[in-house]
Amino acid sequence: MTTSSVPSKPLAPQIDDLLTCVHCGFCLPACPTYEILGSENDSPRGRLYLMRAVAEGRLEVDDRSFGRHLDRCLGCRACEPVCPSGVRYGSLLEHARGERVTASGPLVRAAGIPIDLFFGNRWLGLLGWLALRLLRASGIPRLIARAGRAGRMPGHLRFAMAMLAATAPRARGALRGVRRRRRREGTWRSADAVGGPPDGELVALLEGCVMWGLFRHVNHATERLVHAQGVRTVRLPPGLCCGALHAHAGRLEMARELARRMIAAIENSGARLLVTNSAGCSAAIKDYGEWLRDDPIYRERAERVGRLVRNASEWLVERPQLGYRSLSARLGYDAPCHLLHAQRIDEPPVELLAQVPDLEVVKLPRSERCCGAAGLYGLLRRRLSEDILLRKLGEVLETDVDVVATGNPGCLMQIGAGALVHHIPVQAIHPIELLAGLLESD
Ligand code: SF4
Ligand code: SF4
């Protein structure tokens, strides 16, 4: 670790938040990277200490060791709920990564441009997603994923193909009729509300970027459950990204720009509530007030929109119970970090799944533990991500479940891909997809 004779203090505005850490160490057992690496600098307390050193000018923000320990953080926020001082670790991590991006050279900044283009330019993004869907439909990703030996750590390409293959619809039979109906109605609507009485309640549905690109079946399933509640829906434009991936990577300006676009789209929808099925998206939108607190035009609008968003499980569990067909199976629930730790939503998905007759629902033994997906972490930090994933897969085997349910695209891809490449006969499914596939009204 190097110190500089000319100290810079890029995290100085966060010093009050940093000083709320009293170094008690209660967060250490909750941290997956500390569990595996056993190093203080790879624990929440250690990383906060390094951020404080930067804020106080004792450490340069572009110090390589600082960057290494920040990069190893999953951003899972498991350290937040267990912290007696209420340290806002997730927000501090985003600021620290943002300062590193600002201080980085042109080459590092240029490396983020493809992500900005893919998620920031809707038309480029839509083309990219369509190409990925075609590749998925070819069956090649699945063949590549299954080609290696079981138990052997997969390379980047094989795991990426496995992640793509893991996005295929699971409740295929049950949703077939819906997809036919959807084709008759057109691929998407943004202006006209559908479902429910014309003067009835209206909610906006987030199509999203990854969710629209690779999990449209889950978006359709969400819409069906909302309609089954007699509520009308209006869809936000496809490809519209919430900015979560950019914020996690420290590309804060792009994240804020995407948040402004999202706020305008939600306001224009005419709905008084936004329902999303992606834990990462609902967590990000709930944080918009924080992201845009220095923007005089958007600050209040961001806070208002943050209060309008509901995760689909959070919304559905408050509504009248729907009728589901029975399913004789044993299901393991794994909590997405950005649902459990960032939004503190624990029981609603389990309570909803428990409404299915004959379905035995159990939480995985360490359901609160990250699966190692964490945005692009699963691809960029393969070794550490694989170590974390193998523990999760061990719990899946130990619990002897037929299927794993989890409500976030990254987790679905990570666990689904892990099962594929390690030849474990368990599929990962979004709880909403499973519920919609069993709706009695079909
Ligand atoms: S982050 Fe919270 S739990 Fe962890 S050492 Fe600091 S005060 Fe203690
Ligand atoms: S966000 Fe997760 S990986 Fe990062 S310090 Fe907190 S518990 Fe550890």
Is residue 251 a contact partner of residue 109, using CB atoms and an 8 Å limit? no
Query: What does the alpha-carbon distance between residue 108 and residue 65 come to, in Å, rounded to a whole number?
Result: 16
Nearest atom in ligand 2 to 34's CA:
8
Nearest atom, ligand 1, residue 20 CA: 7
What residues flank ligand 2, with Cβ below 6 Å?
30-33, 44, 47, 73-79, 89
CA quadruple 109, 115, 120, 125: dihedral sign: positive
Mutation probe of ligand 1 site: the residue of 14, 20, 24, 341 with most atoms within 8 A of C-beta? 24
Please give the residue range of the domain that contains residue 24. 12-108
18: CA distance to ligand 1 center in Å?
Answer: 10
What pLDDT score does 148 carry? 73
Pocket of ligand 1 contains residue 27 by CB under 6 Å: yes
Q: What is the pLDDT along the chain (442 residues), one digit of tens a residue?
A: 444 433 457 788 899 999 999 999 999 999 999 999 999 999 999 999 999 999 999 999 999 999 999 999 999 999 999 999 999 999 999 999 999 998 887 777 777 788 888 888 888 888 999 999 999 999 999 999 988 766 666 788 899 999 999 999 876 543 343 333 333 333 333 345 666 666 678 999 999 999 999 999 999 999 999 999 999 999 999 999 999 999 998 899 999 999 999 999 999 999 999 999 999 999 999 999 999 999 999 999 999 999 999 999 999 999 999 999 999 999 999 999 999 999 999 999 999 999 999 999 999 999 999 999 988 888 888 899 999 999 999 999 999 999 999 999 999 999 999 999 999 999 999 999 999 999 987 6
Cα of 26 vs centre of ligand 2, distance in Å, is 12
Q: Of the residues 49, 81, 108, which one is the last residue of a structural domain?
A: 108
Mutational pocket test of ligand 2: of 18, 49, 76, the residue with most ligand atoms within 8 Å of the beta carbon:
76
Q: Is residue 267 part of a domain?
A: no
Is 172 part of any domain?
no
Q: Determine which residue's CA is closest to atom 6 belonging to ligand 1.
A: 21
Q: Whose CA is nearest to atom 7 of ligand 1?
A: 21
**What CATH number did the domain enclosing 59 receive?**
1.10.1060.10
The pLDDT value recorded for residue 219 is 96
| Nearest CA owner, ligand 2 atom 8 | 31
d(CA 391, CA 367): 11
* Three-state secondary structure string covering 142-183: HHHHHHCCCCCCCCHHHHHHHHHHCCCCCCHHHHHHHHHHHH
pLDDT at 107: 75
Query: Mutation test of ligand 1: which of 17, 21, 34, 49 has the most ligand atoms closer than 8 Å to its C-beta?
Result: 21
**Among 344, 348, 401, 395, residue whose Cα is nearest residue 369:** 395
The minimum-distance atom of ligand 1 relative to the CA of 82 is 3
Which one of 46, 77, 108 terminates a domain?
108
Residue 424 domain flag: yes
pLDDT on residue 218: 97
Residue 362 in any domain: the answer is: yes
Q: For residue 192, tell me if it sits in a domain.
A: no
- Find the 13 Cα to ligand 1 centroid distance in Å: 19
Nearest ligand, CA of residue 31? Answer: 2
Residues 6 or more apart whose Cβ sits within 8 Å of residue 78: 30, 31, 32, 337, 341, 368, 369, 370
Rounded distance from Cα 344 to ligand 1 centre (Å): 18
Is position 287 within any domain?
no
In a domain, 160, yes or no: no
In a domain, 311, yes or no: no
Atom of ligand 1 nearest to the CA of 43: 4
Q: Is the CB of 87 under 6 A from ligand 1?
A: yes
DSSP 173-238: HHHHHHHHHHHHH-S--SSS-BSS-TTS-EEEE---SHHHHH-HHHHHHHHHHHHHTT-EEEEPPT
Looking at ligand 2, which residue's alpha carbon is closest to its atom 2? 76
Is the minimum distance from the CB of 83 to ligand 1 under 6 angstroms?
Answer: yes
Domain count, the chain: 2
Nearest C-alpha to atom 2 of ligand 1 is from which residue?
83
Question: How remote is the CA of residue 395 from the centroid of ligand 2, in Å?
Answer: 20
First to last CA, the chain: 62
State which of 108, 128, 147 marks the end of a domain. 108
Ligand 1 neighbourhood includes 29 CB (under 6 angstroms): no
Global pTM value: 0.89
User: What is the CATH classification number for the domain harbouring 386?
Assistant: 3.40.50
